[in-house]
Amino acid sequence: MARRRERRVEPSQERRKERVGTATREDKFSDSDASDRKLISIFVVFFIVIPAISVLVYSIKNGSGTKRFEPVVTERGLIKTDISYQEILAENLKIPENASQRHYDYPVLAYITPWNSRGYEIANRFSSKFTHLSPVWYDLKSQGSSLVLDGRHNADKGWLSELRMKGDALVLPRVVLEAFPTKLLKKKKQRDKAIDLIVTECKEMDYDGIVLESWSRWAAYGVLHDPDMRNMALKFIKQLGYALHSVRSARNPEQKLQLVYVIGPPHSEKLQQHDFGPEDLQSLSDAVDGFSLMTYDFSGPNNPGPNAPIQWIRFTLQLLLGPPGNNAQSLAPKIFLGINFYGNDFVLSGGSGGAAVIGRDYLSLLEKHRPLIQWEKNSGEHFFVYSDDNNVRHAVFYPSLMSIYLRLEEARSWGTGISIWEIGQGLDFFFGLL
């Protein structure tokens, strides 16, 4: 989630380049409808062999504890695979029904970015749908031999005040740890300084804690390949978590400040040394209140396809939580399963490339091209193919009610919560599902 994650709408961010699988491009998106419907098979064939029986057994044993109430969109028959662009455009014009009732009782963490003000509006309108809100405001950076926590200028106190009058969602701003990791982790003075900066900011701004992102950056620096440095990294996270837990919330004295930690999915079939795994989950479980799992960005410009194949999500959860009976599965309630509210527009011919698609972009494409929207059952996502003004073919993957519903139910079956990146990028009627 560090800078890599912000690439969905923030300029100059890189896409994830490593993937669990490879695929060719033009082969998957031919002009015929039949081949269009099969384009995802190349991406997900590796995951079809996931031990589905284990997932089913776990779901039966553990999935019944989370309540679910039928959303209005379900009653109206809008959650389906055979949708048309006309239905999406028409639904977007309606005022969302039931903006307050929650349909799932598990935790919902929603990210908000300062470069997309719509997220602030959504957080206020649907405040009761969220248990945790994480505005993307802070970076902890090296400055000479010292450290600085940059980002208070992003904090919107007026929005915070209005939000807190409407609901009880915890506000945990995201902090990206950009400080040089070797100096930070090896020097006690730097570690103590970093923790003091974060805890002090929470006190002064009346936050309920923070969401910390550092693992992907540490992996990029090679820190996690060194066993000693890896242990230091885990110790730092624990130290920060315990420091936050030692402080009571200004809004609710009975509640301690919380730490949610961002973790990424594995990059291969088996966990590598730099991947966050079940042992790490157990090691940090006392110090960390939740883990924001980035189960999206499966595909990229060089291997266009679905944003987060459902089989891949199951595979990731099983790697992290283990088979039924594994001790790590007791920690499933601490997982915030990542769901993307953004999409991607990939170039299929005439060169490579792609761009993130948010709600307004998606609606514009539907209005202009009036495409045939297709369902790919293996990935559990909708997509469409179109040709631009230069006759260059594109494939667009963007969430639908059906794709989101499947992932909400997946979280319920595993006993996890969800995290959404990010709420300003979705369509208003998505929130009727939460």
Architecture label for domain 99-342+399-433: Alpha-Beta Barrel (3.20)
Q: Say what percent of the chain tops pLDDT 70.
A: 81
Helices 188-205 and 227-245: angle between axes, nearest 10 degrees? 30
H or E element at residue 291: strand 290-293
The three-point CA angle 252-416-103 to 5° equals 75
What is the distance between the alpha carbons of residues 241 and 199, in angstroms, rounded to a whole number?
A: 10
Which two tokens mark 35? Answer: 């081949």
What is the distance between the alpha carbons of residues 366 and 168, in angstroms, rounded to a whole number?
A: 37
DSSP 8-state assignment for residue 2: -
Helices 52-62 and 310-321: angle between axes, nearest 10 degrees? 70
What is the distance between the alpha carbons of residues 163 and 127, in angstroms, rounded to a whole number?
A: 7
Which two tokens mark 304? Answer: 């266009």
Give the mean pLDDT of 298-310: 94
Distances 269 to 46, 54, 154 between C-alpha atoms, Å: 9, 17, 39
Q: Which residues contact 428 (CB under 8 A, 6 or more apart)?
A: 92, 96, 122
Q: Which of 19-23, 262-266, 286-290, 403-407 has the lowest mean pLDDT?
A: 19-23
Predicted confidence band of residue 19 (pLDDT cuts 50, 70, 90): very low
Q: Does position 7 have pLDDT exceeding 60, yes or no? A: no
Give the mean pLDDT of 197-211: 97
Q: Which residues contact 9 (CB under 8 A, 6 or more apart)?
A: 113, 115, 116, 342, 356, 358, 422, 425
What is the distance between the alpha carbons of residues 87 and 366, in angstroms, rounded to a whole number?
A: 11
At 70-117, the pLDDT tens digits run 665 666 678 999 999 999 999 999 877 777 788 899 999 999 999 999
Highest mean pLDDT among 36-40, 101-105, 252-256, 407-411: 407-411
Using only C-alpha atoms, what is the Rg of the chain?
A: 21
Q: Determine whether 205 is exposed, middle or buried from the number of CB atoms within 10 Å of its CB (0-12, 13-18, 19+).
A: middle
> Would you list the domain boundaries of the chain?
99-342+399-433
pTM of the model: 0.85
Question: Phi, psi at residue 261, to the nearest 5°?
Answer: -115, 135
Q: Which of left, alpha, beta for 278 (phi over 0: left; psi -120 to 50: alpha)? A: alpha
Predicted confidence band of residue 209 (pLDDT cuts 50, 70, 90): very high
Q: Does position 25 have pLDDT exceeding 80, yes or no? A: no
Q: Which of 174-188, 266-280, 359-373 has the lowest mean pLDDT?
A: 266-280
Q: In what order do the strands lie in the sheet with 354-357?
A: 354-357, 343-347, 393-397, 381-387, 374-376
Q: Determine whether 12 is exposed, middle or buried from the number of CB atoms within 10 Å of its CB (0-12, 13-18, 19+).
A: exposed
Q: Does position 47 have pLDDT exceeding 60, yes or no? A: no
